[in-house]
């Protein structure tokens, strides 16, 4: 059998399989959001948030005002288009006519863009928190240009405002793009206060209904998650994830779970702690009776002892 015939047979088999009424069979031309377009919108929004750091070489203009004006026009046009597509996922607009959807998409686009000064206010505090909290940061330019935690946080702050406007899909596409770039998974529904700092960051997961206060610092591998997902869709719109109050530090590998779990002000959570109940303010939480084990030979004896949890332990990461 020649290659052409094999290809034709494969196509016929696939076409037959496509008729099986699966969810993944559905074809809606021009009715799905374009991921590439949304990522492009996000990248232009970053240029607007950081006008001096992410220059747009596409526009041959020499003033910040003109550059911002041209990027805004681009963002407005494309965001209206993408919102018009995703609004059909909302029951309210499922059967709406195109004119109604276009008007709503325009209103939502401008409502979102009006939030950018507020977003920038919060991002300024995030940059300061990173600089204050990381002795390896030599300047703020380094933080803005290289820190994955800040990129994930900025993306979340932008996506969160879209989420609050009840815009489907687009906020999640933005945060999942940041997830793919950084290994940091923050749901756009997460509410984050000022001076938020993610150090290192890889493997962090923060769920939809998490609430994070001001001056919170989180290290790699932390999970702020739901206590159980067995309820599935029955748990939608319920508080499933923890609340983290002000001035909390959570070290690597810690898991804090449950919608009723509140971590009080000034708490320090040690690495690998597993928490499912509320923690009173000012507490320091760590794994009890950790023990260090050494392999050694008789010519090089090594003492075996429990891990000492002294005051400095919490800050030597």
Instruction: Note down the domain range covering 94.
Output: 29-183
Asked if the structure places residue 19 within a domain, the reply is no
DSSP symbol at 202: T
Q: Do residue 152 and residue 234 come from a single domain?
A: no
Angle 151-89-154 from CA coordinates, rounded to 5°: 10
Sheet holding 243-244, edge to edge: 191-192, 211-212, 243-244, 262-263
215 near 244, Cβ under 8 Å? no
Last residue of a domain, one of 160, 183, 206: 183
Beta bridge partners of 291: 306
Residues 6+ positions from 84 with CB-CB distance below 8 Å: 98, 101, 102, 105
Predicted local distance difference test score (pLDDT) of residue 287: 84
Predicted local distance difference test score (pLDDT) of residue 314: 47
Asked if the structure places residue 13 within a domain, the reply is no
Predicted local distance difference test score (pLDDT) of residue 238: 86
Sheet holding 284-285, edge to edge: 197-198, 217-218, 249-250, 268-269, 284-285
Q: Using one digit for the tens of pLDDT, what is the confidence trace for 50-83?
A: 987 665 555 555 577 888 888 899 999 999 999 9
Asked if the structure places residue 61 within a domain, the reply is yes
Q: Answer whether residue 171 shows pLDDT above 60.
A: yes
Which of 52-61, 94-103, 289-298 has the weakest average pLDDT?
A: 52-61
DSSP symbol at 88: G
Asked if the structure places residue 294 within a domain, the reply is yes
CA distances from 88 to 26, 32, 41, 174 (A): 15, 10, 20, 19
Asked if the structure places residue 296 within a domain, the reply is yes
Long-range contacts of 106-110 (CB under 8 A, 24+ apart): 106/80, 108/83, 108/165, 108/167, 109/76, 109/79, 109/80, 109/83, 110/76
**Banded pLDDT at 293 (limits 50, 70, 90):** low
The total of structural domains in the chain comes to 2
Interatomic CA distance for residues 218 and 222, integer angstroms: 7
Q: Do residue 108 and residue 234 come from a single domain?
A: no
Q: Do residue 204 and residue 137 come from a single domain?
A: no
Beta-strand ranges (E) seen in 114-177 are: none
Q: Answer whether residue 195 shows pLDDT above 70.
A: yes
- Average pLDDT, stretch 103-111? 97
Predicted local distance difference test score (pLDDT) of residue 100: 96
- Phi, psi at residue 289, to the nearest 5°? 55, 45
Q: Do residue 216 and residue 168 come from a single domain?
A: no
Q: Do residue 199 and residue 234 come from a single domain?
A: yes
Q: Do residue 130 and residue 163 come from a single domain?
A: yes
CATH code (residue 127): 1.10.3130.10
Q: Do residue 316 and residue 194 come from a single domain?
A: yes
Q: Using one digit for the tens of pLDDT, what is the confidence trace for 215-251?
A: 999 999 999 999 876 667 767 778 999 999 999 999 9
Last residue of a domain, one of 151, 183, 215: 183
| pTM score | 0.84
43 near 58, Cβ under 8 Å? no
Instruction: Specify the pairing of strand 243-244 against strand 197-198.
Output: unpaired
Q: Do residue 115 and residue 64 come from a single domain?
A: yes
Q: Answer whether residue 91 shows pLDDT above 70.
A: yes
Last residue of a domain, one of 134, 158, 183: 183
Q: Do residue 203 and residue 102 come from a single domain?
A: no
Q: Do residue 142 and residue 249 come from a single domain?
A: no
- Average pLDDT, stretch 282-293? 79
CATH code (residue 213): 2.160.10.10
Angle between helices 64-86 and 170-182 (to 10 degrees): 110
Asked if the structure places residue 7 within a domain, the reply is no
Q: Do residue 168 and residue 197 come from a single domain?
A: no
**Banded pLDDT at 302 (limits 50, 70, 90):** low
Predicted local distance difference test score (pLDDT) of residue 109: 98
Angle between helices 170-182 and 148-164 (to 10 degrees): 170
Asked if the structure places residue 54 within a domain, the reply is yes
Residues 6+ positions from 296 with CB-CB distance below 8 Å: 302
Predicted local distance difference test score (pLDDT) of residue 310: 55
Asked if the structure places residue 10 within a domain, the reply is no
Q: Do residue 162 and residue 287 come from a single domain?
A: no
């Amino acid at each position: 059998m020649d290659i052409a015939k094999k290809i034709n047979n494969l196509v016929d088999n696939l076409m037959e399989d496509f008729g099986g009424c699966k969810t993944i069979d559905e074809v809606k031309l021009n009715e799905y959001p374009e991921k590439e377009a949304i990522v492009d919108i996000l990248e232009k929004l970053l240029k607007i948030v950081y006008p001096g750091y992410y220059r747009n070489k596409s526009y041959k203009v020499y003033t910040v005002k003109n550059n911002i004006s041209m990027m805004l026009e681009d963002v407005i046009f494309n965001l209206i288009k993408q919102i018009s597509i995703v609004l059909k996922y909302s029951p309210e607009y499922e059967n709406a006519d195109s004119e109604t959807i276009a008007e709503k998409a325009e209103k939502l686009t401008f409502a979102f863009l009006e939030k950018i000064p507020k977003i920038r206010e919060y991002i300024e505090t995030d940059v300061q928190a990173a600089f204050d909290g990381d002795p390896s940061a030599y300047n703020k330019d380094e933080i803005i240009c290289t820190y994955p935690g800040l990129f994930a946080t900025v993306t979340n702050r932008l996506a969160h405002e879209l989420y609050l406007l009840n815009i489907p899909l687009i906020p999640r596409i933005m945060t999942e793009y940041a997830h793919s770039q950084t290994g940091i998974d923050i749901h756009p529904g997460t509410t984050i206060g000022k001076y938020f700092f993610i150090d290192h960051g890889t493997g962090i997961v923060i769920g939809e209904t998490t609430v994070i206060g001001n001056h919170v610092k989180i290290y790699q591998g932390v999970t702020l998650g739901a206590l159980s997902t067995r309820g599935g869709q029955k748990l939608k719109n319920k508080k499933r994830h923890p609340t983290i109050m002000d001035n909390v530090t959570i070290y690597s590998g810690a898991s804090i779970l449950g919608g009723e779990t509140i971590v009080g002000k000034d708490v320090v959570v040690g690495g690998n702690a597993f928490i499912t109940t509320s923690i009173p303010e000012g507490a320091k939480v760590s794994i009890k009776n950790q023990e260090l084990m050494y392999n050694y030979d008789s010519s090089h004896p090594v003492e075996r002892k429990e891990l000492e949890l002294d005051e400095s332990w919490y800050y030597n990461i």
